[in-house]
Homo-oligomer: A and B are copies of this chain.
Amino acid sequence: MTDRSIVHEPAPGERAAGAEEKRQLILAAAVRVFARRGFHTSRVGDIAEEAGVAHGLLYHYFSSKDEVLETVFRENWRQLLERFAAVEESAEPADLKLLGLVKILLRTWRNDPDLVTVMVREVGRSPHLASQVDDIGRGFEVIQRVIEQGQAEGVFRAELDARLASWIVYGSLEEILTGWVMGRLPDGDEEVARAERTIVDVVCGGLVRTTLAA
């Protein structure tokens, strides 16, 4: 929606609007199909059928099956990055920012599990989606900067490698999402809340019981 305002609209008539709707229809269908069957085993015909259009139409909006996946990733990851940026720019202390980032990712699961499934399973580790490399990196960088900020503020330990730490945080998130995606980890509302707490708790406070805390 907000997105739409950016896109070139040839005419404010129904034609263009209808066309854009179809495009979104196809993208949404693709997410469902990719989530269900995986990218490689999904057929272009499956996506078209799920969207209720002829499969030829898909090539009106996208140049290939790969581009559909890339678009799914790009358009959604951009939204995520925007929300990341909002957290980063907030006035919170570093640890609360970290919690904010964690919440953004984990709650996306509740909102759109299919989308997360696709992101986690298909995009994260496939080497052939060119665009994704930089964009994903940008997510890590936000986490890294928040950690560095915490170190600069004296809240986080300065001796830790902030870059590696950002990978640890992100890895924790992605693994738990994967657990939910694969159905190997319960994912009710309560569990999501607990996961948020536990990740921040472990990553910030560590597993070890400090003498004072005891």
Interface residues of A (CB under 8 A from B): 38, 40, 95, 98, 120-121, 124-128, 133, 137, 147, 150, 154-158, 160-161, 163-165, 167-168, 170-176, 178-179, 181-182, 184-185, 194-195, 198-199, 201-214
Q: Let me know if B184 and A176 touch, CB within 8 A.
A: no
| Nearest 6 A/B pairs, CB to CB | A171-B175, A206-B206, A171-B171, A168-B172, A40-B40, A205-B206
CA distance A175 to B208 in the complex (A): 22
Chain B neighbourhood of A181, CB < 8 A: 125
**Chain A binding site: helix, strand, loop or mixed by DSSP?**
helix
Chain B neighbourhood of A126, CB < 8 A: 38, 121
CA distance A76 to B154 in the complex (A): 44
CA distance A205 to B158 in the complex (A): 13
